Amino acid sequence: MIQAFLQRLARWLDRPLFPWKKFVVGFSLAEFTLSSWLLWRQYGYLQKKTVPKALEKEIDQQTFDKSQAYGRAKAKYSFFSGLFNQLKSIAVLHFNVYPIVWAFAGSLVARYAPARFSGGITQSLLFVYLFGLIDLACGIPWSYYHSFVLEEKFGFNKMTVKLWLTDMLKSQALTIAFGIPIGSAFLSIIKATGDSFFYYLWVFMLMVQIAAMTIYPVLIVPMFNKLEPLKPGKLKESVEALAAKLKFPLSELQVIDGSKRSSHSNAYFTGLPWIGKKKIVIFDTLLEKSSEKEVEAVLAHELGHWQKNHTSRLLFISQAHLFYIFALFSVFIHNRSLYADFGFRTERPVLIGFLLFNEILSPTDSIVKLLLNMWTRSMEFEADAFAVDLGYAAELGASLVKLQIQNLSTMDADWLYSSFHYSHPILTERLKAMKWKGDRKIIADKSADEQKPVVAADREL
């Protein structure tokens, strides 16, 4: 029934001379305009001179001013890097870079590849790698500026140029090592299963995601960071007691050298959502800059995510989204008018079709991101409430404020901007939900040799 509906929709959408390229460029410009408008709204908040009333007892003026300056610097970087990427995307479409790179990949395969590897799958994988190199080359100046100019200016960057380059090379090696087998399987499944490929592809990607959740902490993380067991002591005893109380299947407590790259503070647990033992990983910077009870509060929040099955729920929603994407891709995979409008008039490579389909689907990303942010914010409130119910209200509130100071995180945000861009509630919202009331200025502990703020991790508390 689903497949029959999708086939009818495919026939209806395959319209000769339909301006697919103009459609994609138009929506891309609209999306960039929306993003820029939201950033402009947020920039107004970043120009405020007074500490938000909800934080005036905890945040001093100097810290607030630094936070605002850092926020403005990041906003400017975001706008100009976004503008560059927007112009690059339009140039790629306007000058038909896809067919040019595809033809070049084909010529390399024909000239150098052994006969057994001379098919469309090899050409597709080489196309992806070549296009990835173009993106990498275009992104290197922005990456360098972000780490060694912007972050350096505010005392955040911990990386050397050598480490930055090494990370880049490791990432490229991992892309090849995992991209070739996964990409080959992806294309082979579509080739072997016909128009019902999206069912099989969905199951395959579910297996890949579960494998990634298993392999990443064991093989990938140690390639970039050093992990050591948490030393025996009061903190370890307290965390193990908390895990036992909650029946959390803890196998090991580890400390990761997050300070190797930046001074961000965080903690997380690894392992499959439903089965098996799990590890808790604590950043060394969190141990250095927080009291033992505050670290316990952070871990109580993280264990709240486990107790409330947030990981399982996120996995479920990601799989539902993937099924939707693959099913909708089946509508466009044979669309001749789509291929032709982007320069592919005599052939319809599956991989190119998937890329073009994603260009069409891109406008829905903002809606999906908005809905997902609303959902993840509700999860953060639940995890905070869980830690509060365990008796960590004071420690969690103090830890959140301290991290805000260390990270120079934005103290206030435009509600519409935060809805689209923040997966976590802003600090004032979290403290209000916790009914936490501070009565003193909180100063983040800093080591004697480093009186600098720290950058937040991608997944903050």
pLDDT of residue 259: 73
> Which segments are annotated as binding site?
301, 305, 380
For the segment 358-371, the average pLDDT, to the nearest whole number, is 84
- List the catalytic residue out of 151, 302, 341, 359: 302
Cβ count near 324 (within 10 Å): 15
pLDDT of residue 405: 81
- Determine the Cα–Cα distance for residues 91 and 79; give it in Å rounded to an integer: 18
Q: Is the per-residue pLDDT at 362 higher than 50?
A: yes
Long-range contacts of 48-52 (CB under 8 A, 24+ apart): 48/412, 51/411, 52/411, 52/412, 52/428
Cβ–Cβ < 8 Å for 119, 416: no
Give the pLDDT band (50/70/90) at residue 227. confident
CA 84 to the chain's CA centroid? 20
Residue 310, exposed/middle/buried by CB under 10 A (0-12, 13-18, 19+)? Answer: buried
Closest CA to 226 of 248, 268, 255, 187: 255
Closest CA to 56 of 412, 407, 315, 446: 412
pLDDT of residue 6: 79
- List the catalytic residue out of 294, 341, 384, 412: 384
Tell me 16's DSSP state.
Answer: T
Tell me 146's DSSP state.
Answer: I
Question: Whole-angstrom distance between the N-terminal and C-terminal Cα of the chain?
Answer: 44
- How confident is the model over 94-146, as pLDDT tens digits? 999 999 999 999 999 998 888 777 788 999 999 999 999 999 999 999 999 99
- How confident is the model over 421-444, as pLDDT tens digits? 888 888 888 888 888 776 566 655
Q: Is the per-residue pLDDT at 445 higher than 60?
A: no
Tell me the chain's radius of gyration from C-alpha atoms: 24
What region, left, alpha or beta, does residue 96 occupy, with left being phi > 0 and alpha being psi -120 to 50 degrees?
Answer: left
Is 0.95 topped by the overall pTM?
no
Q: Is the per-residue pLDDT at 452 higher than 50?
A: no
Closest CA to 266 of 249, 253, 246, 284: 284
Give the pLDDT band (50/70/90) at residue 365. confident
pLDDT of residue 364: 79
Q: What is the mean pLDDT of the chain?
A: 87
Tokens 């790629």, residue located: 92
3-state secondary structure of 282: strand
Contacts for 325 with CB less than 8 Å, ≥ 6 apart: 361
Q: Is the per-residue pLDDT at 446 higher than 50?
A: no
For the segment 142-158, the average pLDDT, to the nearest whole number, is 90
For the segment 403-408, the average pLDDT, to the nearest whole number, is 79
For the segment 190-218, the average pLDDT, to the nearest whole number, is 90
User: Higher pLDDT residue, 153 or 364?
Assistant: 153
pLDDT of residue 264: 61
Which amino acid does the sequence have at 176? I
- How confident is the model over 97-110, as pLDDT tens digits? 999 999 999 999 99
Task: For 79-94, give the DSSP string.
Answer: HHHHHHHHHHHHHHHH
Residue 275 phi, psi (nearest 5): -135, 160
Q: Is the per-residue pLDDT at 63 higher than 60?
A: yes
Establish whether 302 is a catalytic residue. Answer: yes
pLDDT of residue 461: 57
Contacts for 189 with CB less than 8 Å, ≥ 6 apart: 197, 200, 201, 204
Give the pLDDT band (50/70/90) at residue 59. confident
- Determine the Cα–Cα distance for residues 168 and 410; give it in Å rounded to an integer: 29
Cβ–Cβ < 8 Å for 205, 189: no
Q: Highest mean pLDDT range out of 13-17, 79-83, 162-166, 234-238? A: 79-83
pLDDT of residue 409: 83
For the segment 301-321, the average pLDDT, to the nearest whole number, is 90
Greatest pairwise CA separation for the chain in angstroms: 74
Q: Is the per-residue pLDDT at 186 higher than 70?
A: yes
pLDDT of residue 455: 36
- Determine the Cα–Cα distance for residues 37 and 417; give it in Å rounded to an integer: 9
Write the CA distances from 184 to 46, 192, 229, integer angstroms.
47, 12, 38
3-state secondary structure of 377: helix
pLDDT of residue 454: 35
- Determine the Cα–Cα distance for residues 363 and 28; give it in Å rounded to an integer: 7
- Domain at 228-289: CATH architecture: 2-Layer Sandwich (3.30)
3-state secondary structure of 461: coil
- Determine the Cα–Cα distance for residues 195 and 179; give it in Å rounded to an integer: 24
For the segment 350-370, the average pLDDT, to the nearest whole number, is 87
> Which segments are annotated as binding site for Zn(2+)?
301, 305, 380
Tell me 220's DSSP state.
Answer: I
Tokens of 332: 């466009």
Tokens 């799989």, residue located: 319
Give the pLDDT band (50/70/90) at residue 338. very high
- How confident is the model over 233-282, as pLDDT tens digits? 898 999 899 999 988 888 888 888 877 766 666 788 887 776 778 888 88
Q: What are the structural domain ranges in the chain?
A: 1-197+322-434, 228-289
Contacts for 423 with CB less than 8 Å, ≥ 6 apart: 372, 373, 376, 377, 380, 459
Establish whether 284 is a catalytic residue. Answer: no
Contacts for 431 with CB less than 8 Å, ≥ 6 apart: 54, 397, 400, 401, 438
Pairing, β 267-270 against β 278-283: antiparallel
User: Higher pLDDT residue, 10 or 165?
Assistant: 165
- Determine the Cα–Cα distance for residues 77 and 46; give it in Å rounded to an integer: 14
Cβ–Cβ < 8 Å for 16, 338: no
